[in-house]
C-alpha cells in the first residue's frame, strides 16, 4: 500500500513538472511570436518630400514697439495768459502754424517805455551832434581847447551808443511780443492739448503735443545669418493677428480707405546696425511702416506678422515635420522603410514650411505625423502629403 502511495506521488510530481515546463515553453514561444510580429509590423504614417519651394518667409512677433521720429511739444516762449486757441484735438497742422495766442500785459508797456527812451536818446544825439559839429569848426580855427573838443566828441559817441541800446531793447521786446503766438513745431496732428483758454502759463510750458504718425518705426535684433539676407530698402508686409489695431492711445483720426483689422501695411528696411560689412553676431534692423491710413499709433502692439515680399526658392519641409519646438530634428524614412532621427539646421519659415539649411537632401521623405512614440528603426509605411503646388525638384 505504501509503495502505491509513493508511485502515485511521483506521478503527480512528474505531471506538475511537465506542466510547468510546458507553460514555460508556451510563454517563451509566445514572446518570440510577439517580437517577430512586432518586427514585421509596419506603422502607417504621413510624410512629405524634402523639396525646393518658393517661399515668402514670415516672422511672427509677440510684441513690437512702434515709435515716431516726429513728435514735439508746442511750447510757450514767454509768460502769459492763453487768450485764444486756434486748434482742437486731432487738428491737422503745418510747421509754424499759430496754435495759441498769449497775452502778456507787461510787454506793451515796456514797448512804450522803450519808444520813449528812443525818442529821448534821439534828442540827446541831435544835440550832441550839433555840439560836436560846432566844436569841430572851432577846433579847425584853433578857437577852442583840445580838451573841450574831446568832451564834445565823447558826448556825441555816447549819445549814438545810447540810441542803439534803446533801439535794441525795443527790438527784444518786439521779439517777445511775437512770441505771444505759440506755433506748431512740426507738420502733424494735435495729439494732446495740455492747457485750455484762459490759463496762465510760464515760459517753457508745453501747451500741446503734435505728432506725425504717417510714418512709424520699430526695430528688431536679428541674427547675422538672417540679417545678411536683408538690404536697405527691402520691402515686407506687416499684419496683425488680433484686433488691437483699433485701440488707440492718442485717439488720432482715421484716413479714408483703411480696412481695419484686415489692413496690411507696407514696410521697408530703413537701417541695419552695424552695417553688413562689419563683423557682428547680432544686428539691429530698423523698419519703417507706411501708416498713411492712420490705423497705428506710437505704442506697443502684439500678434504682429512680418512677411517678406521677396520670393525665395529654398530647400524646405513642412513645419509639422519638426519633432519639437527647437526645430532641430526630424524623422526621416530610410530606403529600408524604417525611421531615422536626424538632426537638422533650420532657417526661415512661412507658417507652413521651414527652410532646411543642413541635415537633409532634396527628395528625402520626412514624417509629418505626430512624433510621440516614434523611435529609430521602426518599420513604417508612409502616405505622402498632397500635390506640391509650388514645389520644384529641379
Residue 364, domain CATH? 2.40.420.20
Apex 165 CA angle, 164 and 166, nearest 5 = 90
Instruction: Please count the CA atoms within 13 angstroms of the CA of 45 that sit on its side-chain side.
Output: 28
H or E element, residue 82: strand 80-85
- The cell 527652410 sits on which residue? 355
Residue 53 β-bridge partners: 314, 391
127 shares its domain with 172: yes
* Structural domain count of the chain: 3
pLDDT, residue 25, reads: 63
In degrees and rounded to multiples of 5, residue 169 shows phi and psi of -60, -40
pLDDT, residue 390, reads: 41
Which domain does 154 fall in, by range? 106-178
Q: Can you tell me the distance from the alpha carbon of 312 to that of 382, in angstroms, rounded to the nearest whole number?
A: 29
Using a 10 angstrom Cβ sphere, with 0-12 exposed, 13-18 middle and 19 or more buried, the burial of residue 360 is buried
Domain boundary among 311, 346, 377: 311
Looking at the domain assignment, is residue 146 inside a domain?
yes
231 shares its domain with 274: yes
Looking at the domain assignment, is residue 296 inside a domain?
yes
Looking at the domain assignment, is residue 283 inside a domain?
yes
- The cell 517777445 sits on which residue? 176
Looking at the domain assignment, is residue 82 inside a domain?
no
pLDDT, residue 30, reads: 53
Cβ contacts of 1 within 8 Å, gap of 6 or more: none
223 shares its domain with 303: yes
The C-alpha cell that represents 102 in the structure block: 498769449
Strands 380-384, 43-49: pairing kind: parallel
Domain boundary among 311, 334, 367: 311
As a whole number of angstroms, the longest Cα–Cα distance in the chain is 186
pLDDT, residue 258, reads: 83
272 shares its domain with 326: no
342 shares its domain with 260: no
Cβ contacts of 199 within 8 Å, gap of 6 or more: 81, 82
Give residue 351's Cα distance to chain centre.
21
Strands 215-223, 282-290: pairing kind: antiparallel
Looking at the domain assignment, is residue 147 inside a domain?
yes
299 shares its domain with 333: no
Q: Can you tell me the distance from the alpha carbon of 191 to that of 92, in angstroms, rounded to the nearest whole number?
A: 10
217 shares its domain with 241: yes
The C-alpha cell that represents 10 in the structure block: 511521483
Q: Which CATH number characterizes residue 295's domain?
A: 2.40.30.170
Q: Which CATH number characterizes residue 127's domain?
A: 1.10.287.470
285 shares its domain with 235: yes
- Which candidate, 312, 199, 189, places its Cα nearest to that of 252? 189
Are 64 and 166 a contacting pair, CB within 8 Å? no
Cis peptide bond prior to 249, omega within 30° of 0: no
Looking at the domain assignment, is residue 5 inside a domain?
no
pLDDT, residue 197, reads: 95
Instruction: Please count the CA atoms within 13 angstroms of the CA of 368 that sit on its side-chain side.
Output: 20
303 shares its domain with 225: yes
Give me the tens of pLDDT residue by residue for the chain, a chain 394 residues long.
566 667 666 767 676 676 676 666 666 655 554 444 445 568 899 999 999 999 999 999 999 999 999 999 999 999 999 999 999 999 999 999 999 999 998 888 888 898 899 999 899 989 989 988 988 888 888 888 888 888 888 998 999 999 899 899 889 878 888 889 999 999 999 999 999 999 999 999 999 999 999 999 999 999 998 898 899 999 999 999 877 677 888 888 888 888 888 899 999 999 999 999 999 999 999 999 999 999 999 999 999 999 999 898 999 999 999 998 889 999 999 999 999 999 999 988 998 999 999 999 999 999 998 888 898 999 999 999 764 544 433 3
The C-alpha cell that represents 373 in the structure block: 512614440
First to last CA, the chain: 94
224 shares its domain with 297: yes
pLDDT, residue 40, reads: 55
pLDDT, residue 35, reads: 47
Cis peptide bond prior to 274, omega within 30° of 0: yes
Looking at the domain assignment, is residue 101 inside a domain?
no
Looking at the domain assignment, is residue 193 inside a domain?
no
218 shares its domain with 281: yes
Convert 68-86 to b/e letters by CB count within 10 Å (16 or more is b).
Answer: beebbebebbbbbebeebe
Domain boundary among 246, 278, 311: 311
337 shares its domain with 305: no
Amino acid at each position: 500500500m505504501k509503495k502505491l502511495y509513493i508511485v502515485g506521488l511521483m506521478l503527480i510530481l512528474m505531471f506538475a513538472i511537465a506542466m510547468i515546463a510546458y507553460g514555460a515553453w508556451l510563454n517563451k514561444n509566445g514572446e518570440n511570436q510577439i517580437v517577430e510580429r512586432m518586427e514585421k509590423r509596419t506603422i502607417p504614417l504621413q510624410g512629405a518630400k524634402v523639396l525646393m519651394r518658393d517661399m515668402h518667409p514670415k516672422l511672427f512677433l509677440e510684441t513690437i514697439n512702434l515709435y515716431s521720429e516726429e513728435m514735439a511739444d508746442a511750447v510757450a516762449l514767454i509768460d502769459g495768459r492763453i487768450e485764444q486757441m486756434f486748434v482742437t484735438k486731432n487738428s491737422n497742422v503745418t510747421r509754424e502754424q499759430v496754435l495759441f495766442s498769449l497775452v502778456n500785459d507787461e510787454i506793451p508797456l515796456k514797448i512804450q517805455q522803450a519808444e520813449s527812451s528812443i525818442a529821448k536818446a534821439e534828442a540827446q544825439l541831435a544835440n550832441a551832434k550839433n555840439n560836436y559839429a560846432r566844436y569841430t569848426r572851432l577846433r579847425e580855427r584853433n578857437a577852442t581847447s583840445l580838451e573841450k573838443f574831446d568832451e564834445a566828441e565823447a558826448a556825441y559817441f555816447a549819445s549814438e551808443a545810447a540810441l542803439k541800446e534803446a533801439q535794441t531793447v525795443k527790438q527784444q521786446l518786439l521779439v517777445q511780443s511775437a512770441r505771444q503766438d505759440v506755433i506748431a513745431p512740426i507738420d502733424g496732428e494735435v495729439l494732446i492739448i495740455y492747457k485750455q483758454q484762459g490759463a496762465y502759463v510760464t515760459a517753457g510750458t508745453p501747451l500741446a503735443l503734435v505728432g506725425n504718425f504717417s510714418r512709424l518705426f520699430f526695430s528688431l535684433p536679428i541674427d547675422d545669418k538672417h540679417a545678411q539676407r536683408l538690404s536697405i530698402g527691402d520691402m515686407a508686409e506687416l499684419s496683425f493677428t488680433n484686433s488691437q489695431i483699433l485701440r488707440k492711445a492718442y485717439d488720432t483720426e482715421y484716413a479714408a480707405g483703411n480696412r481695419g483689422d484686415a489692413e496690411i501695411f507696407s514696410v521697408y528696411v530703413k537701417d541695419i546696425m552695424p552695417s553688413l560689412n562689419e563683423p557682428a553676431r547680432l544686428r539691429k534692423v530698423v523698419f519703417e511702416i507706411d501708416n498713411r491710413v492712420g490705423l497705428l499709433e506710437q505704442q506697443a502692439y502684439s500678434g504682429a506678422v512680418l512677411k517678406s515680399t521677396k520670393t525665395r526658392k529654398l530647400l524646405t519641409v513642412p513645419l509639422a515635420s519638426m519633432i519639437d519646438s527647437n526645430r532641430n530634428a526630424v524623422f526621416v524614412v530610410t530606403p529600408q522603410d524604417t525611421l531615422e532621427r536626424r538632426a537638422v539646421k533650420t532657417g526661415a519659415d512661412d507658417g507652413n514650411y521651414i527652410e532646411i539649411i543642413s541635415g537633409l537632401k532634396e527628395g528625402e521623405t520626412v514624417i509629418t505625423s505626430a512624433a510621440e512614440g516614434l523611435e529609430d528603426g521602426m518599420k513604417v509605411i508612409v502616405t505622402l502629403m498632397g500635390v506640391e503646388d509650388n514645389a520644384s525638384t529641379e
